[in-house]
Every structure is written in C-alpha cells, then in structure tokens.
C-alpha cells in the first residue's frame, strides 16, 4: 500500500459486517449498518510518536467518523485521531 496519512490521522480498514444475529436470523443488506470498528493499517508520524495506537490495533470510532477512500481496490477510512473512541 502506498498511502501514508498526514497530520494526526490514521488509515482504518473496517471489520466485516455482521450478516447473522446470535440467534441465527440473517440480516438483509438493506438493514445492515456499517461497522464502527476497524483495524489500523497505517499511521501518520505524529500518531506513531505518541504510541497510543499501533498498526494492527482494533479501534472503535464514531458512526460518522472519517473519510472513505479506495486504495488498490480496497475501501478504507482516513480519520483524525480524535475520532477514535478507544482501542479494543
């Protein structure tokens, strides 16, 4: 991947959407919400220096956080570090 976030930003790959509930009910595509968790795949230099978040961490973020981009055919979110609610 040839993308490096700038400022205080990170690049996140969303986790897979849940397609079935715990009781076995299949959720149709029209009723699915985008997951609010993802795996960190790239960090800006400022975020790396802080050391709070590392590559590979699973993070929780706000519902409308970040900007969606496509890199090498995959969808990612670029978001400000302040949009991260916590690390799982």
Whether residue 18 is contained in a domain is answered as: yes
71: containing domain = 9-87
pLDDT, greater one: 15 or 19: 15
State the DSSP code for 72.
Answer: T
Per residue in 56-68, pLDDT (tens digit) is 999 999 888 999 9
- Distance of CA 62 to CAs 1, 38, 81, Å? 25, 11, 11
Per residue in 19-58, pLDDT (tens digit) is 666 777 776 656 556 668 999 999 999 999 988 899 999 9
Q: Can you give the CATH number for the domain in which 50 is found?
A: 2.30.33.40
pLDDT, greater one: 86 or 20: 86
* Count of structural domains, the chain: 1
């Amino acid at each position: 991947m040839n993308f490096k976030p700038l400022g205080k930003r990170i690049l996140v790959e969303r986790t897979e959407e849940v397609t079935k509930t715990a009781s076995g009910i299949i959720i149709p595509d029209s009723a699915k919400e985008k997951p609010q968790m993802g795996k960190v795949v790239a960090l800006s230099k400022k975020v790396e220096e802080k050391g709070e978040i590392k590559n590979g961490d699973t993070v929780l973020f706000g519902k409308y956080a970040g900007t969606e981009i496509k890199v090498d055919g995959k969808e990612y979110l670029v978001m400000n570090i302040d949009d991260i609610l916590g690390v799982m």
